[in-house]
Structure 1
């Protein structure tokens, strides 16, 4: 199988957005009003050329992401703390075509979660089956979802994903899981914290697992140091997710690919597994 990592634009966030400080509302305010910004971070999307069909993991950010938004009412504050750099050519559809692949041929689009830098390319995949965890869908959809920070008013009208109800059977340290492929080599696991219904994708390459981790952490270092971000919905759940990922990686050599880690593409190319903290 061939795996493609694509950078669909870039984002700068505040340092306290990436590395949270404080608790409760104070933590969010620290993230929003921090004056120190990161450098440009990638917005990664992943494509697996699987024998059962093309699998896309997340869809990147739309090229108009910096334009004003009307929901939720605090969105201007969030936009101040997260600045995007993306052109129409950076969007996932054109980039797939430049790889010689056809967006119309994508079988599955798996959404780790539904924040705007992950759901901005939904419209590029008219024939795909979209896969979202039920918990994420319930939190993100409707008026409640807009108040929770999701831009669901921008989703295509035809967006009607398959909702994942995880089987209550363990998969290593994960209490539940769901198989995506008939071959059983692509597994979905719940990884809540950054969002309530966040999921990650595990691809079994034999001796190595490739973990497409979304926003479970911003970098591998943040994972290993058990460092939660500043905008997640549940700090304790995010740290517990980190512990489960590390426990899985201790038993299964794992290449860890979060969406905004500048080193992720090189780790994929090198098949560099998680470096545990000594």
Structure 2
């Protein structure tokens, strides 16, 4: 089973607050790019999303990566997902056997080319969306996905929250169970992780940008609203997850851009959940 879970940031970008949270003003906040690593007793490190590799935002190309840095993106080489896992678990990148992707936007995939042995779990609708079109897709870095080959492991039958509490068991021992939370992207997934001490952690990716947009009253800012492929599906996924958390209040929700958790990671370094 899973003995520990760490949340960490792989970079951040300064943006006006209203882009994250509705009606919150022009003050600038640090939008974090968060990922998680769990240590499984038998399977070793399990990675949840892979925001940036050693090349940082250059996964979109050197010119765009340079422009992102110019306009506020902050990245340091020690923040690369490969270095984070090495520091937290002692594992080399080629020792990571599984990475669980919430979706395939560029700020979640930059580390994938550097995880040469990792089986990449992603919902089938997400993989189909990326591979069906030959045209450039906004928000996706095809180069991160080009050489995955047989390492890609699309899955289809993940239930939505509220349909089946057990979810889709991806490792066969109940430690990582997938749920469909579409809207932000066509095949967005969230993962419910069972810890050895009986707790559950939900890694929700971009189902919402902050946890308070699920468990509280804060509205989605302009960025999550404009990026979403379906605002109606975003709202449905949020409502289903909110209902789940009301029924299971001890579950710990993590999102990939949460301001409070991200600020803790930026200030303190990786945090144990």
Q: What TM-score does the superposition give when structure 1 sets the normalisation length?
A: 0.77
Distance 1:210 1:110 in 2: 14
Distance 1:147 1:193 in 2: 16
Instruction: Give the match for residue 96 of structure 1.
Output: 85
Instruction: Give the match for residue 18 of structure 1.
Output: 20
Kept in 1: contact 2:182–2:234 (CA 8 A) = yes
Kept in 1: contact 2:48–2:101 (CA 8 A) = yes
Distance 1:254 1:138 in 2: 31
1:227 correspondence with 2:216: no
Instruction: Give the match for residue 51 of structure 2.
Output: 60
1:183 correspondence with 2:173: yes
Cα drift, residue 208 of structure 1: 3.1
Q: Which moves more between the two structures, 189-198 or 2-11?
A: 2-11
Kept in 2: contact 1:226–1:239 (CA 8 A) = no
| Structure 1 residues 184-203: aligned runs within 5 Å | 184-203=174-193
Which structure 2 residue ranges, 5 or more long, are not aligned? none
Q: What TM-score does the superposition give when structure 2 sets the normalisation length?
A: 0.79
Kept in 1: contact 2:6–2:271 (CA 8 A) = no
SS at match of 1:141: helix
SS at match of 1:222: helix
Q: CA RMSD in A?
A: 3.4
Of structures 1 and 2, the one scoring higher in RCO (CA 8 A, sep 6+) is 2
Distance 2:58 2:175 in 1: 38
Instruction: Give the match for residue 111 of structure 1.
Output: 101
1:262 maps to which of 259, 262, 266: 259
| Structure 1 residues 41-190: aligned runs within 5 Å | 41-53=31-43, 54-62=45-53, 63-65=55-57, 69=61, 83-99=72-88, 100-141=90-131, 143-144=133-134, 146-160=136-150, 161-167=152-158, 172-173=162-163, 177-190=167-180
SS at match of 1:149: coil
Distance 2:27 2:128 in 1: 32
Distance 1:217 1:107 in 2: 28
Which structure 1 residue ranges, 5 or more long, are not aligned? 22-34, 272-278
| Structure 1 residues 237-248: aligned runs within 5 Å | 237-248=233-244
CA offsets, 1:121-165, max 9 Å, x none?
A: 002211111111111111123545623431113435234411011
Cα drift, residue 203 of structure 1: 1.1
